[in-house]
Structure 1
Amino acid sequence: MHRPPTAEARVAEELAAVRPALLPRFTTELPGARAAVLTRLWRALAHEPLPWITGRVRGAHSLALRLADGRTLYGPHADPYATGAYVTEVRLDRARAVDPAALMTALGVPDGAAFAAELADSVASLALSRAGADHPKEWPEHDWEWEQRVTDGHPYHPNCRSRPGFSVADQLAYGPEHRPVVELGTVPVPADGCLVAGDWPAELRDGGRLLLPVHPWQAGHVLRRPYDPWRPARPLLSLRTLALPDGPHVKTALSARLTSSVRDISPYSVEAAAPLSVLGEELAARTDGLLHVTRTLGAVSAHSPDLAALLRESPEVYTAPGERVLPVAALATTALPESPGWLAAFARLALTVGLRLLDLGVALEAHGQNLLVILSADGAPLRLVYRDLADIRISPARLARHGIAPPALTGRLVTDDETALRRKLFGSLVAGALAGTAGSGPALGAALAAAVPDLPDTPDLRALLQGPLPAKALTLMRLSPRTPGDQWTSLPNPLVLEPCRSDQ
C-alpha cells in the first residue's frame, strides 16, 4: 500500500527542485525543529485543560500525564514560559517519541489526525525557515529588516510555522524570514460596491473604480483572477502585511490558515478601522508620551473578506534620529534580554502602558507582533508602538468613567466584562510578549518583581499579581474545531511558579 510522503520528505523534494543549495542545511535543522515544536506541544499537554488528560503528577525529575485511556505520558518538568527547545523526547508508556506529529497520532484523540498533519507541516516549515536564516550581526536600519530576523514564529504555538497551502516555492517567495521582495498587485473594483474607511489615495483610484492591493498568493490561489502589477514591498512578521519602500504598510487579505486562524480581512474590520484609529490617538495622548498607535490611513473592502486591504502608518514615523523600532518578537534575536536590568526596565515600560490603557478602557492584544519597542542608540527601551487595533477589547463603561466617548461600534470588540478584558491584555502582554522576551519563568518572574513596585496600585494590577496568569489554550483550540472563539487556560503565576497538582 502506497503511503504519501511525510511533510519533511515533501519539503526536501520540493527544495531540491527550487533551491537545492538549501537542502543540506534544511536536513541539519530538522532535529532542532522537531524539538522546538515538541517543546511547544509538551507545554500545552502540561498546562492546557485537555479533556483526555485526567491527571498531572510532578515527580522529582519528571512530569507524568495520566490519559483517559489508562496510558501515561512522561516528560520533563514544563516551564510554561520557556522558549528554548528543552524537550527532545517524551515517553508514551514505554514508547519513546521525538516527533510531535507522531506523538499526536499515537495519542489517538478526537481531531488529532488533522492537528498531527499541522504539526508535521510546522516542523518542516520551521526547519526551512532556519535553513534560510543568514542575518548580519549589526543592528538593522529599517523596521522590516528587524521583522525578517524572526525565524521561529509564535514562541508557544505548536503550529508556529504551519502554513498549509504554501509550497516550498511559496514560502521562499513570501515568507519574511527568507527576505524576499514581493511584487504586490491591484484589482479594480467598482467604488460604489465597496466599503471605504479613511482616505483612499489617488494612486489607488481609477475613475469610478478603486484599486485594491492584493497579495500574489491570494490572487493566484483564492481570487483566481488576473491583477495589475503595482509596487514592490517587504513582508513583515504577519506575512500578509508588507512595507512599501516609502514607508506605509499594506495589510492584504491572505485567506490561508497561519497558526490558528485564516488571515482574511472582514468587512467588520474595515468598518471599524477609522473609529479605532481615532480612539488609538486619544488613548496614546494619555500615556505621557510612552505609547504611539499607528494610524490606519485608509481601508477598503469589496464586501468580501477575501478582497480587502488596509493602509497603515509605518512605526518608523515615531522614531527620532539614532533610535530603532522593532517588534517585541525580534528582541530575542538580540542580547538585550540577557540583562536582568534591561528586562526589568522593558517590563516596567510595557506594564505601565498596558495597565494604563486597560484602566482607561481598552485591552490591547499586545503580543510580540503587534507590540513594538523604540530603543535608544545604546539599546535602552524608550517608548512603545502599537499597531493593528483589529482585535483589541473596548469597555464603554471604563471609557466613560474617564470622559472618553466610546467609538460607535458593536460586536466582538466591545465588552465590559472584566475577565475578558484582563484575559486579553494579560494573556497577550505578560504570557506572550514579556514571557517570550524573558525566555523562562524565573527570568519573567524576576523582571515582574523588579517592575511591579513602580506601578500604580490598581484593581487590574492586583488581579495580575494575586491569581494565575491567563493564556490562550492554543492546542485545545486547534483540537476543538467546532468550538468558535478563544479558549483559555491558567498558568502558574510567574512571580511564584507553582508545581502541577495531581488533580489538574
Structure 2
Amino acid sequence: MPPPRTPADIEAALAAELRTVRPALLPRYTAELPGARAAVLSRLWRGLAHEPLPWVTRREARRGGLTLRLSGGGRLDGPAPDPFGTAAGITRVELDGRAHDRPAALVAALGLPHGAGFAAELAHSTASLALSRANRVPDGTPGASWEWEQRVVDGHPFHPNCRSRPGFSVAEQLAYAPEHRAVVGLALLAVPEDGCLVTGEWPYRERGRVLVPVHPWQARHVLKDDGATGRDLAAHPLMSLRTLALPGGPHVKTALSARLTSSVRDISVYSIESAATVSAFMAATAARLDGLLHVTRTLGAVSARTPDLAAVLREPPDVYARTGERVVPVAALAADVLPRSASWLARFTRLALTVGLRLLDLGVALEAHGQNLLVVLSPDGEPLRLVYRDLADIRISPARLARHGIPAPELTGRIVTDDESVLRGKLFGSLVAGTLAATAGSTAALREALSTAAPDLPRTADLVALLEEPLPAKALTAMRLSPERPGDLWARLPNPLSAPDSVPPADHPL
C-alpha cells in the first residue's frame, strides 16, 4: 500500500490507525483537527512573514493584513502576524486569490525546492497535534517537574513542525510521547566495556559490560537489536521525547535518531567526551550568580562510539526545590495552569534577564528556551530562582572569561566562540525571542515586561544591543526549506520595544 501523499491522506491515515489502537479517541481527534490546522498555519504564516526567504521579494503591510510578493510573480495574502504572538488565530491564507486552511497544502501549492518534504512534515505536525489535544491531561495541578512537562501539549510555540513526528505510528506516539502520559521502558543494551567511552560515574554495568539505556523506538527502528539484558528502566518521557525521568532518580537522555521539529537528534561522541568538563565548569560558573541559578549536573555519560547508541544521566531539577517550592519548566507556564499577571511576568522577565545577561557578561551564552530553562516557584507562585539543564548547546567565550579572570575550560569545537553575534544570538534568540515571548504571548505583553524589567539591569553593551537592535530568532521555516545548508539560519525580528505589534514594514529587510 503506497504511503499517504496529501495532507488529507495523512490526517485520514492517522484516523485509521487510531480507530484500531484507541477508538475512543477518534471523535475527539476529529474535533481537534480544525484547531490543529490553525495552530500550525499560524506558526507557518509567522515564519513566511518574518524570515529570510529568497523567493519572497517584498512584504507589503496593508490595513489589517500583509501581502508577500513572490519571485515568480505570485502573491500571498494573510492577516497581520504578531512576531512574538502565540495565539493560533490564523485560519486561512490566500495564494493568488485561492484560500488555504491546511498549512501543508499551502506549502505544496507554492512548489518550492524541498517543499514536498516540508509539506509532509506539516501534515504530520497537524495530525499529531490534533492527537495530542484529543488526549490532553485532565485538569489538576501537577506535582513533580515531569508532570508539568506533560502539560505542554502544543509543543514548540513558534515552530510549524511543533508536533511533527514522522516515523512514529499512532501506537508509538501514545506509548512514548510525554503529553500522552505513558510510562516508557528503556532497554539496557549490553556493550563490551572496551568498546565504550564512559565519563563520570556510570551505574549500569555487569560482567565487564556497560549497560546503555536505549529508547524502544531507537531499538526497533535504528539499532534493530534485541540484545538487551532482559532488564529495563521504567521512566516518564519529558518534553524532548528522548529524555526521560527515572522515578526518584536521575533524568536519562537517550539517543533517538528521529527528526523532531528541525533536526535529526543524536548524542555525539564529542558531547560525551566533554560532558564532565562542561558540567563542572558550569556548576562553578553558576555559583557566581548569588544563588539565582542552578545547573543540573551531568552524573555520567556513555557512548558506544556512535551517535546512535549513547546516553547521559543528569540530576533531576526537583533536587533544587526547597519545602513547598515547585520546579516548573518554563514552556509549561503558557499552559495556563498557573495564574500569570503582567506584574508576575515582569518579575519573571527581570529574573531571567538578570541570570542570562550576567552569565553572558562572564562568558557563557545559554540556550535558554522553554525546554532547557525551569523556574523555581515559591508556594504562592513567586519566581525565585532558575534551573538550567542540558549543556550540549551552550556557547563559551574564552575572551570574556579572561576579562573576569576565569580560566577557560579545556574544550574545543563549536561550543567555544568569541563571536559576539553568535553569543548574543544564542541567548537572545532562545531566551527573549523564544522563552519570554512565548510566556508573554504577544508583542504588547513582551514590550511591557521588558520595559518594566530593563531599568533594574546593569546597562552593559549586551543589554543595549538587546533593547535597541533587531532581535535575533532562529529562522525555523527557512531552515526546513534549506536542508542543504547546515547549521542555524537567523531572522531579525522587529525589536519589541520599538516595533508595532504585528506587521513588518514594507519591503521588510531580512
1:198 Cα deviation from its structure 2 partner: 0.8
Matched, 1:471 2:473: yes
Q: Structure 1 residues 60 and 245, CA, compared in 2 at 3 Å: closer, same or farther?
A: same
Matched, 1:480 2:482: yes
Three-state SS of the structure 2 residue aligned to 1:285 is helix
The residue aligned with 1:410 is 412
For residues 78-477 of structure 1, what are the structure 2 equivalents within 5 Å?
78-137=81-140, 139-201=141-203, 204-226=204-226, 227=228, 228-334=230-336, 336=338, 338-477=340-479
Q: Aligned pair count?
A: 501
Superposed CA offset, 1:435-483 (max 9, x none): 0100111000100000000001111000101101000000110000110
1:326 Cα deviation from its structure 2 partner: 1.1
1:182 Cα deviation from its structure 2 partner: 0.4
Superposed CA offset, 1:23-66 (max 9, x none): 00000000000000000000001000100000000011211010
Give, as a single letter, the amino acid of the residue that structure 2 aligns with 1:215.
H
1:378 Cα deviation from its structure 2 partner: 0.6
The residue aligned with 1:4 is 4
Give, as a single letter, the amino acid of the residue that structure 2 aligns with 1:363.
A
Give, as a single letter, the amino acid of the residue that structure 2 aligns with 1:42.
W
Aligned with 1:490 (options 479, 492, 495): 492
- Aligned mates of 1:3, 1:72 — CA distance in 2: 31
The residue aligned with 1:501 is 505
Deviates more, 1:328-337 or 1:41-50: 328-337
- Aligned mates of 1:444, 1:461 — CA distance in 2: 16
Unaligned 5+ residue runs, structure 1?
none
- Aligned mates of 2:301, 2:412 — CA distance in 1: 19
8 A contact 1:337–1:437 mirrored in 2: no
8 A contact 2:164–2:260 mirrored in 1: yes
The residue aligned with 1:50 is 53
1:2 Cα deviation from its structure 2 partner: 8.5
8 A contact 2:135–2:180 mirrored in 1: yes
Aligned with 1:40 (options 40, 43, 63): 43
1:343 Cα deviation from its structure 2 partner: 0.2
- Aligned mates of 1:3, 1:344 — CA distance in 2: 49
8 A contact 1:327–1:372 mirrored in 2: yes
- Aligned mates of 2:91, 2:219 — CA distance in 1: 40
Give, as a single letter, the amino acid of the residue that structure 1 aligns with 2:213.
P
Deviates more, 1:424-433 or 1:85-94: 85-94
Three-state SS of the structure 2 residue aligned to 1:213 is strand
Superposed CA offset, 1:133-163 (max 9, x none): 03323x2111110001110000000000001
1:232 Cα deviation from its structure 2 partner: 0.5
| Runs of at least 4 residues off by over 6 Å | none
* Aligned residues: CA RMSD: 1.2
8 A contact 2:4–2:10 mirrored in 1: no
8 A contact 1:183–1:229 mirrored in 2: no
8 A contact 2:259–2:265 mirrored in 1: yes
- Aligned mates of 2:58, 2:51 — CA distance in 1: 12
Percent identity (aligned):
68
Q: Structure 1 residues 205 and 2, CA, compared in 2 at 3 Å: closer, same or farther?
A: closer
Three-state SS of the structure 1 residue aligned to 2:232 is strand
- Aligned mates of 1:322, 1:3 — CA distance in 2: 51
Three-state SS of the structure 2 residue aligned to 1:255 is coil
Matched, 1:62 2:55: no
TM-score by length of 1: 0.98
8 A contact 2:267–2:311 mirrored in 1: yes
Give, as a single letter, the amino acid of the residue that structure 1 aligns with 2:94.
R
1:337 Cα deviation from its structure 2 partner: 6.2
- Aligned mates of 1:418, 1:108 — CA distance in 2: 37
1:402 Cα deviation from its structure 2 partner: 1.4
Give, as a single letter, the amino acid of the residue that structure 1 aligns with 2:214.
V
Superposed CA offset, 1:88-116 (max 9, x none): 11111210110000000111111111100
The residue aligned with 2:78 is 75
TM-score by length of 2: 0.97
- Aligned mates of 1:161, 1:501 — CA distance in 2: 31
Three-state SS of the structure 2 residue aligned to 1:373 is strand
Matched, 1:21 2:24: yes
1:193 Cα deviation from its structure 2 partner: 1.3
1:330 Cα deviation from its structure 2 partner: 0.2
Q: Structure 1 residues 2 and 255, CA, compared in 2 at 3 Å: closer, same or farther?
A: closer
1:336 Cα deviation from its structure 2 partner: 4.4
Superposed CA offset, 1:70-92 (max 9, x none): 11111111101111101111111
- Aligned mates of 2:340, 2:33 — CA distance in 1: 27
1:502 Cα deviation from its structure 2 partner: 2.2
8 A contact 1:336–1:342 mirrored in 2: no
Give, as a single letter, the amino acid of the residue that structure 2 aligns with 1:96.
A
1:190 Cα deviation from its structure 2 partner: 1.1
- Aligned mates of 1:272, 1:358 — CA distance in 2: 21
1:338 Cα deviation from its structure 2 partner: 3.8
1:247 Cα deviation from its structure 2 partner: 2.4
Give, as a single letter, the amino acid of the residue that structure 1 aligns with 2:117.
A
8 A contact 2:473–2:491 mirrored in 1: yes
